[in-house]
Structure 1
């Protein structure tokens, strides 16, 4: 008779295998985007590696975050000398200064021009890197000989998509942004009457004026794609593909879109069958804090803890703002953990712990954490939702205002613009989010909605990645709309044909009527004579 131990072994280890689709270890080529995007990609790589897949990662020699040596992957390093990091950081400093100083419209127009130039240069530099790869015969042969099962890439910089096309491999996108904004606009019908364009600062409920504004913002995205970003990819396509290609069409051709959002966070909108929503896939139960940090957190008692960080790119706010924020924190009964790399504020209180780095997810998941002061990056917002911590948002640039607006619209956070930050405004908004129970209740509701899923988002992402490996793609989930010219997609040709037919019918009727009338008159006159 089987022992109790055998029963337990069968229950714990074998039954789960019955519900897991088999997939032998595959070979995956990863072409990531550096910076904060790599943080998300690395989570997928860790899980794919844990499931027995072999992974190669293409990186440049001066990569910010992507290490050459890793137990998770083998790296293919491309020499790179034109780093964008300094240019990017200088722009961020100038933009924050302009917001704080209340700069003129001309200054912001100039900064917008610099931003668009920076975006154009980033794509151009990465296209040069791709050309370097494709011109390297032995490297290209190595990539072909490796017999990869798919390419996993982030299309915010779409060189990985072009390389996959060249290697004739299936594509899985780890995506929220593409070369010209939110990826959903490229793959699914996107009525501008209720789908806000990124950067517009609008919700899904728009007045006539706001809808007009939304269309204008969409025009900026089209201009960016057509004249600033597209030419770099057109040059690559013309050189390496017979007949050329269109980068948006190549992105639309991807087999599976692992989309880093969900409809707890985002506004409802049309979507497509090959879009898999994995918002919050990086979240997991909080781990214990280090003994020193745990002691500090627990010492807050019933008042709890406030944590503040503005992401990895912004080390510190301007000194005058930091001084005012520190003075407000010093008055609070709560303990504060603040990631601040810069000059130590003179107004800092004994209740505030300054750190260079913090275990953000573990702190958000700690029951003592009452409030998250954040810049509104996608990862931080989704982690706040997962752990149910209300947010006081200070958006700085890019998509951060739009991210925070989604929380504010649902009553789970409050936005304080950088230009409006001073001691009084910060203290007022901080107190409102801390002490009005509605913010915590609304965020807890979002957390419950987000967690109530049949499949964990990370498992969902891995399943569909392995699905593409098992079936050599997922063409049956992909619409052929990307092959259609714009006038066919919008049925302009059909409407023009119908309009022409109706016009011909009415003209024919009028001509026939006039002919009969004229003939009738001639007959009448001939009878009179």
Structure 2
């Protein structure tokens, strides 16, 4: 017994020494995240890096929604901020304005124009605020000196805002993007070749099998979407870059020269398309095996018997709905034999049935992984869609805004989801969608096939993300994986200058040949004429 205790003590000391050794030799990482659901997945990477002994510093805004100032995982630098990305912004934006316009217009053409104008205006102001944040950072000489003196090994950032990317350039540090979106649009379309004949523009809700009219629409959507993104972001960030780096600097290259792009997608979820050597696919890195539910929730789930459970949540941004929509949803749930767990913080719907449990918070990953969960009613955020794929649970989608309709359209194209318009929906339409997913086996079969494909990888996505971050630290970047395309203008990238030169040469040769032929013909004709005379 004494020997066994002595042996276990030695093992514990060895583990402790190994852990301390890791912490001593760990790298120093500066993180600029985006709040909300983006922070949820960034935090998973931070936790994994912390467990490997890395020293992490997070730059956060004073009015951060999810990003806490005090954490055992990281040190924090808090900067003043009065606007931006918080619950009030999205609650006001989606609930009070976006849904109201949709319901009044009922999806007419002018309604779509009005909605797009609302989105553009809201995010124009959001990016204006982010540009002011980066200006305050760069103008704070004391803070910049402290960041330089800290000797960070790299910057890890979410390029949905430009703050972390511009900060990395100012500090001269290697850059890793935790990315699906940048301020210019979907990441693939910024960095990788994009043949619009089979690569659908992100907001188009098309597939990679497009008819001729769809290809026309795809090209129009691509150029209009890029123009709209530029209108929302370019003037703000370009002014900052010109002021701090000079007027000859193209701020787009700040993004394209990132060493590694940790892509929060993969080709189980997305359609196949060209990619780049420094794009690393880590879709679903936040997913994990289900843990036991809290006892009271487990009792409710088990009470569902053979019928199982329906889970509904509209993500971090929308925990309440207009009362009449909530009543329709509750009335539909009351008609079903399944038990329902619904994350909802609004007034209790008057039509709420005994089979429905309203909760303020839901253990989404654990409930999706429970064997009694039959259907996931969701808004179509990236995190929720990926967790549904991981656990093999089909969806009924209620998309609201941003990338949600496109995310759900991809699963619908694969037969793993059905989509309902939350604005025009009534209990009949909603019930029909729920019963289709509940009782038509193809939905479950298709999502489970996607789940099997997603899980069949040589390396867990989170481990892959950590490996490539450490790779960048070990080698001071990953420049050998970057193409020279990010330095090229549009004319050079598409070889417009080469094509123009070759066409000019062909035209010149043709013109000279024509002149020579005319001269020869003229000489021959004149000679014959003289002989005739």
Cα gap change, 1:299 to 1:155, in 2 (>3 Å): same
What are the residue-to-residue correspondences of 1:13-28 with 2, within 5 Å?
24-28=25-29
Instruction: Report the alpha carbon displacement of residue 198 of structure 1 after superposing the two structures with TM.
Output: 1.6
Instruction: Provide Cα deviations, 1:24-62, integer angstroms capped at 9, x if missing partner.
Output: 300000011112111111111111011100011111111
Distance (whole Å) between structure 2 residues aligned to residue 311 and residue 127 of structure 1: 27
Distance (whole Å) between structure 1 residues aligned to residue 349 and residue 303 of structure 2: 23
What does residue 89 of structure 1 align with? 91
Instruction: Report the alpha carbon displacement of residue 491 of structure 1 after superposing the two structures with TM.
Output: 0.9
> What is the count of residue pairs matched by the alignment?
519
Cα gap change, 1:273 to 1:239, in 2 (>3 Å): same
Instruction: Report the alpha carbon displacement of residue 23 of structure 1 after superposing the two structures with TM.
Output: 10
Aligned partner (choices 182, 189, 192) of residue 196 of structure 2? 192
Cα gap change, 1:469 to 1:426, in 2 (>3 Å): same
Distance (whole Å) between structure 2 residues aligned to residue 136 and residue 244 of structure 1: 23
Cα pair 2:84 2:126 within 8 Å, conserved: no
What are the residue-to-residue correspondences of 1:11-410 with 2, within 5 Å?
24-83=25-84, 85=86, 86-93=88-95, 94-103=97-106, 104-410=108-414
Instruction: Report the alpha carbon displacement of residue 432 of structure 1 after superposing the two structures with TM.
Output: 0.7
Distance (whole Å) between structure 2 residues aligned to residue 331 and residue 23 of structure 1: 60
Distance (whole Å) between structure 1 residues aligned to residue 89 and residue 394 of structure 2: 34
Instruction: Provide Cα deviations, 1:438-491, integer angstroms capped at 9, x if missing partner.
Output: 111111111111000000000000000000000000000011101111111111
Cα pair 1:58 1:78 within 8 Å, conserved: yes
Distance (whole Å) between structure 1 residues aligned to residue 231 and residue 55 of structure 2: 39
Unpaired runs of at least 5, structure 2 = none
Distance (whole Å) between structure 2 residues aligned to residue 405 and residue 236 of structure 1: 37
State which drifts further: 515-524 or 102-111: 102-111
Instruction: Report the alpha carbon displacement of residue 82 of structure 1 after superposing the two structures with TM.
Output: 2.9
Instruction: Report the alpha carbon displacement of residue 349 of structure 1 after superposing the two structures with TM.
Output: 1.2
Cα pair 1:339 1:358 within 8 Å, conserved: yes
What are the residue-to-residue correspondences of 1:426-445 with 2, within 5 Å?
426-445=430-449
Cα gap change, 1:22 to 1:255, in 2 (>3 Å): farther
Cα pair 2:23 2:54 within 8 Å, conserved: no
Cα pair 1:256 1:276 within 8 Å, conserved: yes
Which SS does the other structure have where 1:258 is aligned?
A: strand
Instruction: Report the alpha carbon displacement of residue 169 of structure 1 after superposing the two structures with TM.
Output: 0.4
Cα pair 1:234 1:244 within 8 Å, conserved: no
Instruction: Report the alpha carbon displacement of residue 243 of structure 1 after superposing the two structures with TM.
Output: 4.4
Cα pair 2:84 2:130 within 8 Å, conserved: no
Distance (whole Å) between structure 1 residues aligned to residue 307 and residue 525 of structure 2: 99
Cα pair 1:252 1:482 within 8 Å, conserved: yes
Instruction: Report the alpha carbon displacement of residue 112 of structure 1 after superposing the two structures with TM.
Output: 1.5
Instruction: Provide Cα deviations, 1:157-183, integer angstroms capped at 9, x if missing partner.
Output: 012111101110000000000112211
Which SS does the other structure have where 2:328 is aligned?
A: helix
Distance (whole Å) between structure 2 residues aligned to residue 511 and residue 110 of structure 1: 59
Instruction: Provide Cα deviations, 1:51-92, integer angstroms capped at 9, x if missing partner.
Output: 100011111111111111111111111111234544443221
CA RMSD of aligned residues (A): 2.1
Cα pair 1:23 1:466 within 8 Å, conserved: no
Cα pair 2:29 2:153 within 8 Å, conserved: yes
Instruction: Report the alpha carbon displacement of residue 113 of structure 1 after superposing the two structures with TM.
Output: 1.3
Which SS does the other structure have where 2:377 is aligned?
A: strand
Which SS does the other structure have where 1:507 is aligned?
A: helix
Distance (whole Å) between structure 2 residues aligned to residue 54 and residue 286 of structure 1: 29
Distance (whole Å) between structure 1 residues aligned to residue 386 and residue 214 of structure 2: 27
Instruction: Report the alpha carbon displacement of residue 316 of structure 1 after superposing the two structures with TM.
Output: 1.6
Instruction: Report the alpha carbon displacement of residue 298 of structure 1 after superposing the two structures with TM.
Output: 0.8
Instruction: Report the alpha carbon displacement of residue 327 of structure 1 after superposing the two structures with TM.
Output: 1.5
Cα gap change, 1:389 to 1:515, in 2 (>3 Å): same
Instruction: Report the alpha carbon displacement of residue 263 of structure 1 after superposing the two structures with TM.
Output: 0.6
Distance (whole Å) between structure 1 residues aligned to residue 427 and residue 104 of structure 2: 16
Which SS does the other structure have where 1:488 is aligned?
A: helix
Which SS does the other structure have where 2:203 is aligned?
A: coil
Distance (whole Å) between structure 2 residues aligned to residue 277 and residue 211 of structure 1: 27
Instruction: Provide Cα deviations, 1:92-134, integer angstroms capped at 9, x if missing partner.
Output: 1221123234445334322321211111211111111111111
State which drifts further: 43-52 or 224-233: 224-233
Unpaired runs of at least 5, structure 1 = none
What does residue 506 of structure 2 align with? 502
Distance (whole Å) between structure 2 residues aligned to residue 225 and residue 244 of structure 1: 22
Instruction: Report the alpha carbon displacement of residue 217 of structure 1 after superposing the two structures with TM.
Output: 1.3
State which drifts further: 413-422 or 382-391: 413-422
Distance (whole Å) between structure 2 residues aligned to residue 38 and residue 84 of structure 1: 11
Instruction: Report the alpha carbon displacement of residue 265 of structure 1 after superposing the two structures with TM.
Output: 0.5
Distance (whole Å) between structure 2 residues aligned to residue 481 and residue 22 of structure 1: 38
Cα gap change, 1:387 to 1:290, in 2 (>3 Å): same
Cα pair 2:174 2:477 within 8 Å, conserved: yes
